[in-house]
Amino acid sequence: MLPTTTLGRTGLTITRLGVGGAYCLTPEGYRAALDCGVNYVDAARAYRDGKDEEVIGEALIGRRQNIILGTKTLQRGAQGARGELEYSLKMLRTDYVDIWSMHAINSPSEREQIFAPGGAYEAALKAKEDGLIRWIGVTGHNWEEVGKCVATGLFDTCLCWYNCAMKEPETLVFPAADQHNTGILIMKATFTEKLIEYRWPTIFPWDFYYYVLTNPAVDVVLMGLRNITQFRDIASALERHIGMSDSKLKYMEAYGDAARSAGKLVE
């Protein structure tokens, strides 16, 4: 079985590997990932122009009660965010989502917009009151902005980049999350497989996931379904154990530094 943990102050028991949205085109692919024992699926209204939520909704038929489901909105105003949430629920074929996140808060202006009167955070509070969501999250690629959001104490979860080449969250995000018991979910453990492609001998795909999960601040690492065989391999590896020796951690960090310095980690 995949190991589980408690996702911060949400109290949710969650598998330490989660399914990232956006890449899988079929319900069968998502079901295959869930068959590995994963109980978290991360969606977004923006992924594949909304098609991703529709596919996930079909994949979760008969499984919803056993799955922790998250989705996100790019809308910054309350009215637009509420409209997106209602459409997300329809596409996902569910009455509620467990985690609804303010998506891609990457600039001061976006952060200010969601907290302003009539902003998206107001919509989140109302949706929680109405029973449409259980917990409120924030996501972003800008660690400083995400960290500032987490530092408010207003978010139950946070999703950001972290890997052996990108250690900025250790100072910009994780301390605030620890202070507020904010659940931490991580994306880009392999930086969209660019770290795997730039590999030295003895580094395997699952090593990047071991690295991320060795940090005690991290609750869950997500993996997008570009390759279901590789997803199964990662899940199987995490069933065996989680964690790395200090020497292997240092080796991974040297590898990550070399890949980043070589310009391999470009979107």
Residues 56-102: pLDDT tens digits? 999 999 999 999 999 999 999 999 999 999 999 999 999 999 999 99
Cβ–Cβ under 8 Å, residues 28 and 7: no
Cβ–Cβ under 8 Å, residues 99 and 158: no
Residues 107-116: pLDDT tens digits? 999 999 999 9
Cβ–Cβ under 8 Å, residues 12 and 6: yes
Query: What are the average pLDDT values for consecutive 10-residue runs of the chain, which has 267 residues?
Result: 97 98 97 98 96 98 97 98 98 98 98 98 98 98 98 98 98 98 98 87 91 98 96 97 94 95 87
Cβ–Cβ under 8 Å, residues 111 and 105: yes
- The alpha carbon dihedral of 191, 107, 110, 159 has a sign of positive
Helices (H), the chain: 27-34, 51-59, 78-92, 108-115, 120-129, 143-151, 169-172, 174-180, 194-197, 205-214, 228-240, 246-261
CATH of the domain at 236: 3.20.20.100
Question: What pLDDT score was predicted for residue 198?
Answer: 83
Verdict on whether the full-model pTM lies above 0.95: yes
The tokens for 117 are 């009167």
- Whether 25 is covered by a domain: the verdict is yes
User: What is the residue range of 187's domain?
Assistant: 4-261
Average pLDDT of every residue of the chain:
96
Cβ–Cβ under 8 Å, residues 165 and 265: yes
- Whether 58 is covered by a domain: the verdict is yes
- Whether 267 is covered by a domain: the verdict is no
> Strand, coil or helix: what is 175?
helix
- Whether 232 is covered by a domain: the verdict is yes
Q: How many domains does the chain have?
A: 1
Count of CB atoms situated within 10 Å of the CB of 245:
9
> Strand, coil or helix: what is 243?
coil
What DSSP string runs through 14-78? EESEEEE-SS--SHHHHHHHHTTT--EEE--TTGGGGHHHHHHHHHTTTTGGG-EEEEEE---BH
> Strand, coil or helix: what is 97?
strand
Residue 235's alpha-carbon distances to 1, 64, 87, in angstroms, are: 9, 20, 31
